[in-house]
Amino acid sequence: MHTGHRNGVCPDPLTSSLLDAGCWRAEKRRGSGPKGLISFHILGRRIVILNTKTAADDLFNKRSSNYSDRPFPTMAGTLMKREKSMFYIPYNERCKTYRKLMQQALNSSASQQYWGIEEDSARYTVRQIVDTPDNLFQHLRRNAAFVTMKVAYGYTISDYNDHFVEIAEEAMRIGSLVAAPGKWLVDSIPALRFLPAWFPGAGFKRLAKTWSEHMYLQSLEPHQWVKDQMENGVAQPSFTSRLLQDTNGGVTKDKELDNIVLWTGGALYAAGADTTVSVIRTFLFCMMMHPSVQDKAQKDVDLFIQQEGRLPTLKDWDRGALPYLNCILQEVLRWHPPAPMALFHSAARDDVYEDYHIPAKTTIIGNVWGMMHDNDTYPKPDIFDPDRFTGVNGRKIEDDPRQVVFGFGRRICPGLYVAEASLWIQMAFMLACVRIEKAVDENGRVVEPEVGFTTAIVSYVKPFSYKIVARNNGLELLGQ
């Protein structure tokens, strides 16, 4: 039985983050046994990485009663007072209530109420891309911020320096800083948390106090804003307003419900904004690098426009229009999953799996990237090829990446329907209205972009140069 270190230790645990791109690739190589498991210690934490869908299914689904908690690190959890945060809460009764509310508000039929918002925002974004193509990446961020703020709070962001967006972005920055593996000594030596805040070297405690207040405000301010709107009878329907509404149409007096809605609403921006931007950025990068795929997708969209005399909508998506676009979306998600190691799970009790002893509180990581680049499931996995999913020329259709990319078991992403709709409509409008090509330098030479990825819980294709060419057919139908 394996109980401790194996050869599969991250190259340099003190300096390389578990989330480094090199690391998730490395873990995939090392875990090439039948179930692709790796177990090791890093900075006082025992970690198990699951590299195959079989292992993920065995633990996250079949033994979900034991593998649905989250790790609770000292800095990001205890000192930051994040016990109630969706991203740190164990799978207890409160968490079940969070998930029930999210499921009610974001399931496949409920999420249709956000289609109008997603369409309007995508339309505006494409218009912005055409007007100021140099700011492409900002436009993508604005789109995600607009949609998540509308969904969560019915709040319309302003284009520049929006207060709620700024505090939410700052909270995300803090969230990833405090959760960075290896950054905080107190995560390896939890007893340090008892140092008085004034003690030399205990600056982390003072930071945690300030940051924790900031993160709480990020949820509290927009939540309070919705309640004020409701009291004045002018609230736009949203995740928060619907859940806070009592049977008489007023604001609930139930303090517990109010607090639960505050914490669930506060999770939507952090969970939804970065992930969807990452996917669209990868999509644009892949379209630029694979002009023949872009051509084919644009032919489909053009044909749709010609037949219908309008741009596609999410209703068309729902009835299966533009199937090749769906295959592109699947391949974008597979080729570079935005959360390459999902969110970490934690074992509630001791367990044994495949000869491995897994003690309680072990961090369990589903290596989404590794599963999406498994040569047996996806031959030549590094090649971007939407035809994996078209069944063209009798080709065997490969596994749907969405079964993995949105995470696992009882903690699977509750926002996946909202996410998919937003991604599809942005992609459809972009294909209709613009073409993305490689940039050309001042000497007329094509700039060959490097393929690189940022490393954090949500990973992006690194910034790249590009050229945007407007397509008038689509633009004429886009409206103002």
- Give me the residues that bind ligand HEM (CB under 6 A), please: 86-87, 99, 106, 151, 267-268, 271-272, 275-276, 279, 338-339, 342-343, 345, 405-408, 411-415, 418-419
Q: Smallest gap, in angstroms, from Cβ of residue 38 to ligand HEM?
A: 18
CB atoms within 10 A of CB 200: 6
Specify the residue, 211 or 406, whose C-beta has the smaller distance to ligand HEM: 406
154 contacts: CB under 8 Å, gap ≥ 6: 226, 229, 235, 236, 237, 238, 240, 241
**Burial label, 171 (beta-carbon count in 10 A; 0-12, 13-18, 19+):** buried
DSSP per residue, 319-331:
TT--HHHHHHHHH
Specify the residue, 207 or 343, whose C-beta has the smaller distance to ligand HEM: 343
Rounding to the nearest 10 degrees, give the CA dihedral for residues 50, 53, 54, 59: 50
Q: Smallest gap, in angstroms, from Cβ of residue 215 to ligand HEM?
A: 15
Specify the residue, 207 or 333, whose C-beta has the smaller distance to ligand HEM: 333
| Helix segments in 196-254, DSSP class H | 203-231, 239-244
Q: Smallest gap, in angstroms, from Cβ of residue 74 to ligand HEM?
A: 20
What is the spatial distance between Cα 426 and Cα 231, in angstroms, rounded to a whole number?
A: 34
Where residue 355 falls (left for φ over 0; alpha for ψ -120 to 50; beta otherwise) is left
* CB-CB contact of 141 with 277 (8 Å): yes
Check whether 286 is labelled as a binding-site residue.
Answer: no
Q: Smallest gap, in angstroms, from Cβ of residue 233 to ligand HEM?
A: 26
Closest CA to 361 of 154, 133, 90: 90
What is the spatial distance between Cα 129 and Cα 119, in angstroms, rounded to a whole number?
A: 15
Q: Smallest gap, in angstroms, from Cβ of residue 332 to ligand HEM?
A: 9
Specify the residue, 125 or 205, whose C-beta has the smaller distance to ligand HEM: 125
Specify the residue, 204 or 285, whose C-beta has the smaller distance to ligand HEM: 285
Specify the residue, 52 or 275, whose C-beta has the smaller distance to ligand HEM: 275
Give the Å distances, CA to CA, from 171 to 14, 174, 224, 226: 25, 5, 17, 19
Q: Smallest gap, in angstroms, from Cβ of residue 67 to ligand HEM?
A: 10
Annotated binding site: 413
Annotated binding site for heme: 413
